[in-house]
Amino acid sequence: MLSAMTAMKIKPVGFPYPSKLNTPIPQPLDSSKSGKQDKCRAIFEITQKDPVNQVETLIVKATVWCIEDIMDPAINSSSSGEKASKLPMVFNGEQNVDLVIAFGTAAFNDKDASFNGSLVIGSEFFTYNAHDDNAESQFKHPLLGKYLKCNLSEDRRKSIFKIIDDKFKDVVESKLVLTPNEQAKKTKVLAASNYVAISNINITDPNDFAWADEAGINDYTKTGEKSPIGSIETTHGVIRLASELPIIFVSAITDRLTRFASEVTPSQNYIASFNGGILLSHLIPALGSIK
């Protein structure tokens, strides 16, 4: 994601280099230094210059955190419980937050047509406790299994999703990269405020996606809610439950439903996340127009 957001020939003209950058961080195989940190990956500051007095005013400050950075390396990096226990450190350390964007890779709700490399944006959430007996992840919350409607104010919801119009999509889509595995016919930006992120909780074995993705969808269907499913993954819902701050999600699509094992590789994840960075480098400055 940050590779795209810092690439001069990829990011939009005027999108700034981070005012703080703590990435990439060393990995154990490459360095004796720790591959973890308790600070953000990057801070982007969007300013606007007054044409009269030439004074620069800060209009958007975007802070990028990687959850895995702050997790205990001795615990499975997919543990929903460990993610949930560390997220308060992030939220308690940030002041005057207007919007949270939960970003991550995800599957798309289709077994046949590929949307790999596409981006899905929405603001509703549903969590499914796929393994309440998983010793490696014991996340419990009274709202697990509950439909979580959009918590943006109506004006803010309309303003955010109005930004992602056909013109915005055309610009972003023209830059998106094809994934190496099961490429989409066309990579797209799909946005609707009522898209739901289905998050399968307490999964630490990726082989479980073969059944858990459909199980989570079925559990959501039983609620009787009619909002369309935007993506299926493991973390958006954990972030949503960590605070009551206004939140949307951006899912970078890596695979078709139940096809994780055959379609997701490190390269597949990288390209989908790179596309997410392209989207965010256009969306973040645009958010400054919202009053």
List the chain domain ranges. Answer: 2-287
Q: Report which of 47, 74, 77 is spatially closest to residue 62, judged by C-alpha positions.
A: 47
Do 279 and 3 contact (CB within 8 A), yes or no?
A: no
Distance CA 233, CA 200 (A): 6
pTM of the model as a whole: 0.94
Q: How many other CB atoms sit within 10 Å of the CB of residue 22?
A: 16
From residue 72, alpha-carbon distances to 37, 75, 259 in Å are 10, 6, 29
The CATH code that applies to domain 2-287 is 3.40.50
Residue 27 pLDDT: 78
Q: What angle do CA 245, 164, 88 make, to 5 degrees?
A: 20
What pLDDT does residue 122 have? 98
State pLDDT tens for residues 35-67.
788 999 999 999 988 777 878 899 999 999 999
Query: What is the C-alpha separation between 212 and 274, in angstroms, rounded?
Result: 26
pLDDT of 25 reads 85
Per-residue pLDDT at 34: 67
- Spatial separation of the C-alpha atoms in residues 169 and 8, rounded to whole Å: 20
What letter represents residue 230's amino acid?
Answer: G
User: In whole angstroms, what is the distance from residue 192 CA to residue 236 CA?
Assistant: 16
Enumerate residue ranges in the chain where pLDDT < 50: none
Cis geometry, peptide bond prior to residue 51 (ω within 30 degrees of 0): no
Contact 197, 102 (CB under 8 A): yes
Q: CA dist 32 to 26, 27, 29, 45, 190, Å?
A: 8, 8, 8, 32, 42
Q: Taking Cα atoms as reference points, which of 76, 125, 85 lies closest to residue 104?
A: 125
pLDDT tens digits, 127-163: 999 998 888 999 999 999 999 999 999 999 999 999 9
Q: What is the DSSP letter of 26?
A: P
Asked if 198 and 236 count as a contact pair (C-beta separation under 8 A), the reply is no
Query: Which helix (H) or strand (E) is 200 found in, with range?
Result: strand 196-201
